[in-house]
């Protein structure tokens, strides 16, 4: 029986190799590079919507489906309806890459997704009332074959042909031109931004300039290294103390005191008390009155307006905890120029 792989041009078929086990292929996903690039005059790029969710790779081998975070953690119990939809596919063997999101008023809402990210029991996840959608944007393995060396356009075509999309599964569409116009439109709509990808690029197991993050607003992950005491009637804590790794040292980036509801304040205080330590984990002096220190094991998604000259965050706001990022992988994101 003919398969989509059989219909590839001879040159592309020559790039195919027998695939390693699906989970092994998913262990090191391709990562995008933050960029200030605004012109794409030379062409050769495609543009996808940047989604405000969590990266998830999915592996199906035979009748078994595994949903894996960027760090290899199983997510089947967190997103059981996604696992079910992939199990129902006619194609029995694939490894795919994508983003799981939750929507609120037509926009991806990371805070809403947080209500699902913390659940591991499939029954609780289904009863949470938070619907999730899995946007698939790449294909790594198909029918026992490693397709990562194929051009991105070809991988996306194979992905669209191999799987059926509907329900919680969506194919990530793209545009072939108009990068600046598309970015302006994305920002007007209140989106996160765009991902620009080299159309003929391969899927590589590292951060690559072939994938660029174009953000409408600044924001990234930071490691939580402590907190300050609350003032007045506030419960939990006053502000989180944030940092990022540089040459193996946790550098201080400032504090974030906004973006919390009451439940988050209390939950985070409980978690931080369990991680309490006597010594500051930061390599820099932190001159915050009444600071409490915590082992740097929690990662916070944080929005902000800019970096100050002395390396601190201006007007930061807490967006949520990240469960898919290793603290040691959190570095200061510096835009790629040009």
The continuous run of DSSP H or E covering 58 comes out as strand 54-61
Rounded-to-integer distance, Cα 283 and Cα 178, Å? 44
* Number of C-beta neighbours around residue 47 at 10 A: 23
Q: Which residue among the candidates 50, 213, 218, 325 is catalytic per the annotation?
A: 50
- State how far Cα 235 lies from the chain centre: 30
Q: Which of 175, 260, 174 is nearest to 224 (CA)?
A: 260
Q: Is 325 a catalytic residue?
A: no
Rounded-to-integer distance, Cα 313 and Cα 330, Å? 15
The encoded tokens of residue 332 equal 């200061």
The continuous run of DSSP H or E covering 59 comes out as strand 54-61
| Alpha helices in 194-286, H assignment, sequence order | 262-274
Q: Which residues are catalytic?
A: 50
């Amino acid at each position: 029986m003919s398969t989509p792989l059989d219909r590839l041009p001879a040159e592309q078929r020559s790039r195919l190799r027998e695939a390693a086990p699906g989970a092994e292929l998913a262990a090191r996903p391709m990562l995008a590079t933050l960029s200030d690039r605004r012109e794409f005059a030379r062409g050769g790029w495609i543009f996808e919507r940047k989604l405000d969710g969590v990266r998830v790779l999915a592996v199906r081998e035979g009748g078994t489906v595994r949903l894996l975070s960027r760090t290899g953690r199983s997510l089947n119990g967190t997103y059981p309806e996604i696992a079910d939809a992939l199990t129902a596919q006619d194609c029995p063997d694939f490894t795919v890459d994508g983003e799981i999101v939750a929507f609120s008023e037509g926009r991806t809402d990371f805070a809403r997704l947080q209500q699902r990210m913390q659940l591991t029991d499939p029954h609780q996840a289904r009863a949470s009332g938070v619907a999730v959608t899995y946007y698939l944007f790449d294909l790594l393995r198909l029918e026992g074959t490693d397709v990562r060396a194929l051009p991105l356009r070809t991988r996306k075509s194979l992905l669209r042909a191999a799987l059926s999309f509907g329900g919680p599964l969506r194919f990530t569409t793209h545009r072939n031109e108009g990068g600046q116009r598309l970015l302006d439109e994305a920002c007007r709509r209140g989106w996160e931004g765009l991902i620009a990808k080299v159309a003929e690029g391969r899927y590589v197991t590292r951060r690559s300039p072939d994938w660029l993050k174009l953000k409408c607003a600044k924001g990234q992950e930071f490691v939580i290294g402590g907190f300050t005491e609350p003032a007045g009637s506030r419960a939990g804590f006053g502000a989180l103390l944030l940092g990022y790794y540089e040459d193996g040292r946790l550098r201080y980036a400032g504090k974030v005191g906004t973006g919390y509801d009451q439940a988050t304040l209390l939950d985070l205080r409980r978690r931080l008390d369990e991680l309490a330590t006597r010594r500051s984990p930061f390599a820099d002096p932190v001159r915050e009155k009444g600071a409490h220190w915590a082992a740097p094991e929690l990662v916070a998604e944080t929005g902000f307006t800019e970096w100050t000259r002395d390396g601190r965050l201006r007007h930061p706001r807490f967006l949520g905890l990240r469960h898919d990022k290793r603290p040691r992988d959190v570095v200061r994101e510096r835009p790629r120029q040009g």
